[in-house]
Structure 1
Amino acid sequence: RCRTVKLGSQGGPEGLGYVVYGWFACRIDQTPRGLKFTKVTGSQRPSGLLFPEDGGHMVMLGSMSLASEPAANSYGQRPERDLVAVLERIGPARWRLVIPWPENESNLDLIELIPAS
């Protein structure tokens, strides 16, 4: 499961500076190219490959799909949708994906991940 916290606003003073969404379906799968994060549900669905950085962090190179679009393409296929993020362990069964300057709405997205219950 995952939930997104959006900080800052790209919409100027009228935009929301802080939004917390409810829980959505997310997963991390082992693929032939390595680990892949995918936000499965919701109107903004980031997806990407995870690359080891150090003992507690991974770097994600991915892309964003919006609304009813199909799942996101690989990093580099649609530069306007590309994402570079950091996945960090923040607890025994808790992780945080940090996405700076996403394409839509906010200045920083934080996606909290926990195992499905």
Structure 2
Amino acid sequence: MTPVQFFKCLSDETRLRCVTILQKEGKLCVCELTAALALSQPKISRHLAYLRQNGLLLDSREGQWVYYQINPKLPPWALPLLDKALVAASEGEQFQKDLDRLNKMDCRPEVSVCC
């Protein structure tokens, strides 16, 4: 991943919100991200596909769910930037709203089968 690819991935608000909440939570499925960001599933999926295709995220299938997480094999220069982005985002009102919606989600995949 080049610096240009990395910053293009984060230049969109929806992608940045996805990445920062994934950086905080570790891994989430599409339904969790949809609930957290209060956006449609197709929109979230399109942005996740872009992030995966550019190497910022990895996906894994577990049963009926596809989980996304930050790629642990990112270049060493990228990881501190993601940490700083999370710190900056966590100070914002939008990030807290996203996190609150995620935490209020009635039936997260690890708790029950609902998505």
Q: Which TM class, normalised by the smaller chain length? A: under 0.3
TM-score (norm 2): 0.27
> Between Structure 1 and Structure 2, which shows a larger proportion of helix residues?
2
Higher relative CO (Cα under 8 Å, sequence separation at least 6) belongs to 2
